Structure 1
Amino acid sequence: MTAQVVDHADFVREWEQWHREHEEVLAGPHGFLAITSLRWLGAEPERFEDAPGAWSSTVGGVVVELAEGEELTVDGVAVHGRYDFGVIGERDSVYPGFGDAVIEVAKRGGHDILRPRHPGSVLRTAFTRTPAYAPDPRWLRTGRFVPFGLPRAVTVGAAVEGLEHVYDSPGQVEFELDGTVHRLTAFNGTRPGSLMALFTDATSGVTTYAANRALQIAPPDAEGRVSLDFNRAANLPCAYTDLATCPLPPAENRLPVAIEAGEKIPLERGGQP
């Protein structure tokens, strides 16, 4: 569980590409910085200034009632009048179109929500970059995946007070730093077999965002080895905006050491260049 030996020039070049692509997604025309509001849908239809129609959460799922002259585009097809999105799965989203905007319809923490995403959002158009530590191979560590006998349901808090998220955890990843072994409870990643760890550390609230950072981890090899590149510890959307429902790390993922790598506090939250 040691630092990996790499070509420094290639390492920096690959990190710069990763960081550039990460920011392009964040600040894309319909990325997270384009969100203009977070709406919690209820049983009674309600209209919002940044989305067409009257929206409600029913037993059968999310419903929108479009007035005459209002239109949404769903899977490339224009819809009018009443439209039923059906039951949306937890952490899933659908994105009907509206002019140059999209309307994210999603479920978070068991609640149906609406998040319009407009390219002209001031948060998006004013975005320049996210400060980060200079990439350093010291923070590329070889660790080990320690699976649980069976996956465990782990309940964590959220950036929104009172909201909770439940994730399946297949196990923990352990790594060594300065002679001490640390463990992080991992969740399933976006790709088959991959992992994701939410964590805080001694830099949190000082140079890095206080609530959380996320580390994507490629699938373990046949012997359980994993590569943890803390240079790619990334901010979640809640680091930039209050219109996010991001999960918080489980208690055991609050590292007592300073991980001086990865993304820092965004400029939008008072971070320093």
Structure 2
Amino acid sequence: MTTAPPTDPALDPAAFAREWEEWHTAKDRALGDPHGFLAVTGLHWLDTEPARFPDAPGAWSTGPDGVVVELDAGEELLLDGVALRGRHAFGPIAERDSVYAAAGDALVEVARRGGRDIVRPRHPDHPPVRDFTGTPAYPADPRWALTGRYLPFDAPRPVTVGAAVEGLRHVYDAPGEIEFELPDGSTHRLTAFNGHQPGSLQVLFTDATSGVTTYAANRSLHIPAPDAEDRVTLDFNRATNLPCAYTDLATCPLPPTENRLPAAIEAGDLTPYERTGRP
């Protein structure tokens, strides 16, 4: 395998950088959304005993029938345009799914992560939203846009990985691996999970920059669907931080062991300013 040219073989480095800058700006705009991950004020794990939290109305609990909230007089949530008062049962929530209920200008996320139900309020006036100035990144470089080969498994394989929250585990179905060659000539394989768009893939990885210039725990790379010959493009310029890079109130998965690359991937997102203390 060889290093791929930029997305378009005729694309000059300046055009490549402009396209990347537009993508990076849009990504950070979404991250800084008033109800995005920077707005999370608490990660509350539910059990059978109703509990109240300072950043969300109601008393929350969970059991065999799913999450329940008990709202006192004067308390209200808005779910899909319908006002909730008194007792409301959200029902069972699927792993990695979320339901969002409005509480004034805040959103209350009700979700299931690692087999446990959580409540995670999001407040637009939270200081991390107000103070967010963007994510530092390596300069865009076409030599980090690589061509790889998708190697599908005969059947998806369940892969258990750790999480940013100690003791939590996530299980993902891996449809296959991606083999590619780095600019230094070394060949590697990464276990791939399904991406957000149909047919697309996602890899979680660390490399020799992790904990040095990039976030120590993980980075993520979205990979468009393979072509008819199972070729894929790994544009490491678009390696992104997961929410746990910005906040301790995230449950992000960690890479599987085989995705810990020994080489330095000097492309993509750097450690966020929120973790370095730099302005």
TM-score (norm 1): 0.98
Is structure 2 residue 9 aligned with structure 1 residue 7? no
Is structure 2 residue 108 aligned with structure 1 residue 107? no
User: 10-19 or 193-202: which moved more?
Assistant: 10-19
- Counterpart amino acid of residue 55 in structure 2: D
The aligned counterpart of 1:139 is: 144
Name the SS for the 2:28 alignment partner: helix
1:256 pairs with 262, 268, 271, which one?
262
The aligned counterpart of 1:20 is: 25
TM-aligned CA deviation for residue 25 of structure 1? 1.3
- Please show how residues 14-93 of structure 1 align to structure 2 within 5 Å: 14-93=19-98
CA separation in 2, counterparts of 1:26 and 1:221? 30
- Counterpart amino acid of residue 234 in structure 1: T
CA contact (8 A) 1:33 1:241 kept: yes
The aligned counterpart of 1:209 is: 215
CA separation in 2, counterparts of 1:175 and 1:27? 33
Q: 1:229 to 1:272 in 2, by over 3 A?
A: farther
The aligned counterpart of 2:181 is: 176
Name the SS for the 2:23 alignment partner: helix
TM-aligned CA deviation for residue 127 of structure 1? 1.0
Q: CA RMSD in A?
A: 1.0
Structure 1: gaps (5+ residues): none
- Please show how residues 120-135 of structure 1 align to structure 2 within 5 Å: 120-135=125-140
CA contact (8 A) 1:215 1:232 kept: yes
TM-aligned CA deviation for residue 10 of structure 1? 2.1
TM-aligned CA deviation for residue 42 of structure 1? 0.7
CA contact (8 A) 1:265 1:272 kept: no
Is structure 2 residue 245 aligned with structure 1 residue 239? yes
Name the SS for the 2:143 alignment partner: helix
The size of the alignment, in residue pairs, is 273
CA separation in 1, counterparts of 2:23 and 2:136? 14
CA separation in 1, counterparts of 2:185 and 2:28? 34
TM-aligned CA deviation for residue 188 of structure 1? 0.3
TM-aligned CA deviation for residue 123 of structure 1? 1.2
CA contact (8 A) 1:204 1:210 kept: yes
TM-aligned CA deviation for residue 7 of structure 1? 2.5
Is structure 2 residue 198 aligned with structure 1 residue 192? yes
Name the SS for the 1:96 alignment partner: strand
TM-score (norm 2): 0.96
TM-aligned CA deviation for residue 272 of structure 1? 5.4
Name the SS for the 1:17 alignment partner: helix
TM-aligned CA deviation for residue 157 of structure 1? 0.2
- Counterpart amino acid of residue 232 in structure 1: R
TM-aligned CA deviation for residue 181 of structure 1? 0.9
Structure 2: gaps (5+ residues): none
CA contact (8 A) 1:265 1:271 kept: no
TM-aligned CA deviation for residue 128 of structure 1? 0.8
CA contact (8 A) 1:90 1:108 kept: yes
Where do 4+ consecutive residues of structure 1 move more than 3 Å?
none
User: 20-29 or 196-205: which moved more?
Assistant: 20-29
- Counterpart amino acid of residue 249 in structure 1: P
TM-aligned CA deviation for residue 9 of structure 1? 2.3
CA separation in 2, counterparts of 1:87 and 1:44? 17
